[in-house]
Amino acid sequence: MNVNKIIFISMSLMILGCKSQIFENNVNYDHYRIIEKVDYSDNSLNPKTISYEDLNFKGLFNYSSLNKYNVKYNSIVEKERYVNFDTIFSVEKRNEINKQFNSLNSREIKPKHLENSNILSNNKNNTIAAITFPFIVESSNKIKYGFIYRNTKGLLYIYRKINGSWDDFARLEIHTAN
């Protein structure tokens, strides 16, 4: 074998190794940080997320539901809007949110990307929480918001990224909405 072939083969293997590392490093860890923010203390988490097709109340997974069902309960009779999402998202971003809701796909949650993989279920006999894979939309003022739904609680969690950390921003009770 001549030296040129050895160099070519060596370079090819290095490039292929680098490409696979690039794809591995291309994981958006923000999605996994959002997954870990949801409270699973009462259940373990199904390692496979649910898709739009798996959702109950599909008609409520849209931008207009964000404002309609986003209320804070102060007492039995009084409801006060917690946040007006129209002040956060432009029309273009609202359409993006609708598109993201409608294109939720089922995915495997990779334990190696979680800081705490103990939240994942490994026993079919446990009560298992199922979630949608989170999606992230940037607001008009460049703040990122993450959306994730947990079916066993009927809650749509909305997180906001501030100073590198995902903070609880709003929760919508989708299962009780009418």
> Is 2 within a domain?
no
> Is 160 within a domain?
yes
> Is 18 within a domain?
no
pLDDT at residue number 15: 52
pLDDT tens per residue, range 48-73: 898 988 887 777 888 988 877 776 65
> Is 72 within a domain?
yes
> Is 57 within a domain?
yes
Sheet of 144-150, strands arranged across: 135-138, 144-150, 155-162, 165-173
Question: pTM (2 decimals)?
Answer: 0.77
> Is 62 within a domain?
yes
> Is 37 within a domain?
yes
> Is 39 within a domain?
yes
How many independent structural domains does the chain possess? Answer: 1
